[in-house]
Structure 1
Amino acid sequence: MSLATDPRPPLPGWVLDAYNILCDHLTGQDHGESQHHVLAIPRDEAIEVLLSTDEIDLEPGDADHALTRLIDRGYLYEVDSELRVTQPPEDL
């Protein structure tokens, strides 16, 4: 998602790993309103997902930092303490 013209350094790999874990978690759930393809998760639940995975080892502060970085870079956006994926995966 990072544009070639973005002067900021790329996100660290572990932050992108956190994003992929969240997307995998969201796409693996039955959302009932799947015709809208809104991938959303409460922030607290997103932190729990990141802390419970075996794919990366994060402390609570690290998980929160990863979410903040993903929001700052436009991978996620927040609405009423719910995180939503800005650009859902193509295969939904």
Structure 2
Amino acid sequence: MWSNEPRTLPDWIEDAYQILVAGTPDQQPNLSHEQAQDLLLAAEEFPAEPADAEYAIERLLDSGWLYAVDGELRITDPER
């Protein structure tokens, strides 16, 4: 059965989103894939494994919290 409720992500992936929002200037809410990974791996509250950073970015992309344009990642809604 389909539901109109938004899908939720695991807390650690939502935390990754907040890390990316906090690490992105308001005037330019986009970053390269590498910059996003570096921000996540530098955060103390995020697992220090590159595979975890990649997985979180992919889940954020799949869920529409991030989107990719011309090789850059953009934050969909920094007010979330």
> TM (normalized to structure 2)?
0.83
Following superposition of structure 1 onto structure 2, how do residues 20-59 of structure 1 map, counting pairs within 5 Å? 20-26=18-24, 29=25, 34=27, 38-59=28-49
Identity among equivalent pairs (%): 41
Q: Which runs of 5+ in 1 are unaligned?
A: none
1:62 Cα offset (Å): 0.8
For 1:25 and 1:6, the matched residues in 2 are separated by 28
SS of residue in 2 equivalent to 1:78: strand
Runs of at least 4 residues off by over 4 Å: none
SS of residue in 1 equivalent to 2:23: helix
Number of residue pairs aligned between Structure 1 and Structure 2: 78
Q: Which runs of 5+ in 2 are unaligned?
A: none
> TM (normalized to structure 1)?
0.74
Task: Mark the structure with the bigger radius of gyration.
Answer: 1
